[in-house]
Chain A
């Protein structure tokens, strides 16, 4: 099917909105748009970061998810207490594949769940005593932990516990960092506020700890910020930076440690991958420590080369040469991959719906494979995310913010993409509709997808999914008539 025109896309949005009641329709209309590259500011065409509509299915998380799950969770040598009832921590335990090196339960704690397991009496009489006890126990049982973060669940804010006081008291007793994070799930409209709260907690409780202490640094120190090492992403990014001559001092927060984070104020430059979740801390470090920051994109060879050059431009000739050397080194490998997979994937159309940075960052990687992204959207993006997306997306493509289950299904039925990239909650719906699907949150248990090594895996995975023979077998053989199978499945 050929691409939709601007009018057709607009008509499609109107048609999908038709089922809503008047008020809901008015509200949702603001979140759906046809891309127009001539628009400078996204707020003229799309509204974002608003409360989801009650009564529809959306795919958002909460502030606790943003803090514990995204920002703090991957810091491997700290213990993150899910402070409150047991469920929030247990059902999200190890859900995000933040790979790390270490012995779990001895010196790293990434996939473990620590909780204060609130009972009725803790709600009635307050949970501060229990929290203090939990932390004392943790320090006895896991002496190699380098610190504790207290991730508040909803009841903590509701009953008004003073976790800051407990944190200070315990920190004085153990001599380790204890960070109280006020990331109760009811705060904000999505996980996005959780990222912000977590960043503020790092700003207030972690970064000042080494202020004024001597640190041996080189002119090539950088920190990788906002790479959560999903399936090893941060590692495949890091080797490129090191190959070009930079010294990666800290990884935030995939495979990261608290010591690395404390050292970040001494770097020469902060490199931000996930702008949405970590821009706050980058801005703070720019103000307080005069560290410049920049966004980069390590998806697909075109964008990797672009980013390596952009990063090198901030350093001297040695690094600039290093960047060219790295790009040249991997060029043959990239050409080979593109030669192998492009003929199999060329012209295929993709619809994305993810969070954070991927709705715009992976567009380049798909384009390198000759594929086209015809629709994209963020779960919890803000206006500045859409500002950046408009330029990356083609004209007359669909943009949807906080899309509802119904809208997404209808869009896919009409736009008929060859591939949908979204999360686990959408995966089986679309697979049952006969549309090839990749999880773009967890890389469908594959990865890494960042960097040159990651692109090889990305290309293979996309081919594996799209050209899988199972898509031709969506109909039971005895139901098969003369009509072509593919059309039946997509209808």
Chain B
């Protein structure tokens, strides 16, 4: 689990992982509705992370815990 930050706005989310200084666009997010938001997120660099599905945050950026499923390197 790692602390991450999601920035940007709906449709153009940016993923930031301070620990590795990884900043990248999010290509797809599993759930992206006001009630359910999160799940598996795919990054532009090919990496995949998982955030617990939750109600969509009122505003961005937001800091979250994410699980690494597949990091690109």
Give A471 Cβ to nearest chain B Cβ, in Å: 40
CB-nearest residue of chain A to B23 = A384
Verify B16–A283 contact, CB threshold 8 A: yes
Size bracket of the B interface:
10 to 19
CB-nearest residue of chain B to A383: B21
Query: What is the CB-to-nearest-CB distance from A383 to chain B, in angstroms, rounded to a whole number?
Result: 7
| A41 lies within 8 A of chain B by Cβ | yes
Question: Bound complex: CA of A196 vs CA of B45, how far in Å?
Answer: 24
| Distance in Å: Cβ of B51 to nearest Cβ of chain A | 15
**A49 part of interface (Cβ distance < 8 Å):** yes
Chain B nearest CB, measured from A205 CB (Å): 18
Q: Which residues of the partner chain B approach A280 to less than 8 Å between Cβ atoms?
A: 18
Residues of chain A within 8 A (CB-CB) of B16 are 283
What is the number of contacts between chain A and chain B, taking CB atoms within 8 Å?
Answer: 23
Q: For residue B22, which residues in chain A have a CB less than 8 angstroms away from its CB?
A: 383
Taking CB atoms, residues of chain A closer than 8 Å to B61 are: 283, 286-287
Which residue in chain A gives the minimum CB-CB distance to B18?
A280
CB pair B63–A196 under 8 Å, yes or no, is no
> Is A136 part of the contact surface with B, judged by Cβ < 8 Å?
no
Residue numbers in A under 8 Å from B59 (CB-CB): 290
Interface residues of B in 29-73 (CB under 8 A from A): 44-45, 59, 61-63
A287 pairs with B5, CB closer than 8 A: yes
Contacts of B45 in A (CB 8 A): 41, 43
| CB proximity of A378 to chain B, nearest CB, Å | 13
Residue among A49, A280, A287, A290 with most chain B CB within 10 A: A287
Q: Kindly identify which residue among A287, A382, A383, A384 contacts B63, using a CB–CB cutoff of 8 Å.
A: A287
Pull 23 A–B residue pairs with CB atoms less than 8 Å apart, ordered by A: A41-B44, A41-B45, A43-B45, A49-B21, A196-B18, A280-B18, A283-B5, A283-B7, A283-B16, A283-B61, A286-B7, A286-B61, A287-B5, A287-B61, A287-B62, A287-B63, A290-B59, A382-B21, A383-B21, A383-B22, A383-B23, A384-B21, A384-B23
User: 8 tightest A-B contacts by CB?
Assistant: A382-B21, A287-B61, A384-B23, A286-B61, A287-B63, A283-B5, A49-B21, A287-B62
